[in-house]
Amino acid sequence: MSYVPVLDLRDDPADLARRLDDVCREVGFFQVVGHGVEEAGDRAWAAMRAFFDLPLADRMSVRSPSPDYPHGYSPVAGESLGRTLGADAPPDLKEVLNTGPVDPPPHEITDEDEWVVWSPNLWPAALPELEIAWSEYHRRMQRLANRIVQLFALALSLPETYFDSSVDRAACGLRGICYPARTTPPEPGQLRAGAHTDYGTLTLLRQDSVGGLEVTTREGEWVGVESIPGAFVVNIGDLLAGWTNDRWRSTVHRVTDPPPAADGRYERRFSMPFFHNANWDARVECLPTCLSPGERPKYPAVVAGPHLRAKFRRSVENVRVS
């Protein structure tokens, strides 16, 4: 049996909630089928792959204008996820396209830093279908993620709508990732994506069959995550770990190279994560159902938006980009 279990979202919600609590305590990762996003996902996936097949000049036309700008293209070695955990890690062997919300904010914004996460997306003129496919997919994924958050509430013995007011104005993100084919080995300590946890509430990931995604067990061992056609890999982010006082795991994970082919070539890999977040001003503190009598919260309360921005900044600070 795979270490990362597969859940069907068409199952009874009460049964799903019970299983989710067990999985989030022990693994922090699971896969979901029966989500209903297959066709929109295929269109977004095809558009994402087409973007990374564009000439470099077209990709660079939507390069992020500054390291602090959260959307746009970042070339290979433009990020080091290992640094978000405090490691002096080499740059990651990947190129990415980041987008944020595709609709205007549903609320008045007064915080300048919050305006940044609602910044305009950058779409390449050479691939107009990308904006169409990704906008549709973003809206579908946000609805799916909100549905899973409601199942999380049930799993934590809370009303189904408990988190709704904390995620109804969230700036969520969609990322396309290409791990280019290579014939050269990595630098010492260099990975396709360095070991890290995700920053927000949860992540839904579509991946191809090349492999390389690995998660840590409680014993500190690395285990590969199987690629299942049509499934999303889901993992808990730091905010939910804080809300649950570490009852649920924000699991460290990474992406490694597949074994090289006979000619020494490392195969190209693609993935497409959707990052679900809490509202910018959501206060994240230990839930009452996650404290035993006499137990104290492990972490001070944080405000979701500044927490996320600080993590993002650490991933791009002083990263060498050629």
Average pLDDT of span 167-185? 96
Average pLDDT of span 68-95? 83
The percentage of residues in the chain with a pLDDT greater than 70, rounded to a whole number, is 96
Residue 81 has pLDDT above 90, yes or no: no
Q: Which residues contact 214 (CB under 8 A, 6 or more apart)?
A: 222, 223, 224, 225, 253, 254, 255, 256
pLDDT at 317 (0 to 100):
56
Residue 98, classed as helix, strand or coil, is strand
Question: Which pTM was predicted?
Answer: 0.94
Residue 318 has pLDDT above 60, yes or no: no
pLDDT at 310 (0 to 100):
84
pLDDT at 78 (0 to 100):
76
* Angstrom distance (rounded) from CA 245 to CA 144: 25
Q: In whole numbers, what is the pLDDT of the chain averaged over residues? A: 93
Homologous superfamily assigned to 6-316: B-lactam Antibiotic, Isopenicillin N Synthase; Chain (2.60.120.330)
Of the two residues 314 and 154, the one the predictor is more confident about is 154
Token pair for residue 233? 């890999």
End-to-end CA, the chain: 43
Residue 162, classed as helix, strand or coil, is coil
The percentage of residues in the chain with a pLDDT greater than 90, rounded to a whole number, is 81
Check: CB of residue 201 under 8 Å from CB of residue 237: yes
pLDDT at 319 (0 to 100):
46
Long-range Cβ contacts of 154-163 (<8 Å, 24+ apart): 154/13, 154/14, 154/16, 154/17, 155/17, 155/18, 155/20, 155/21, 155/24, 156/21, 156/244, 156/287, 156/289, 156/290, 157/289, 158/287, 158/289, 160/13
| Structure confidence by residue, pLDDT tens digits, 208-220 | 999 999 999 999 9
DSSP 3-state percent helix, strand, coil across the chain (nearest 5): 30, 20, 50
Residue 70 has pLDDT above 60, yes or no: yes
* Angstrom distance (rounded) from CA 194 to CA 67: 19
Q: Which residues contact 51 (CB under 8 A, 6 or more apart)?
A: 59, 97, 124, 127, 130, 176
Rg, the chain, Cα only: 19
Q: What are phi and psi of 305, to 5 degrees?
A: -60, -55
* Angstrom distance (rounded) from CA 260 to CA 50: 25
* Angstrom distance (rounded) from CA 314 to CA 309: 9
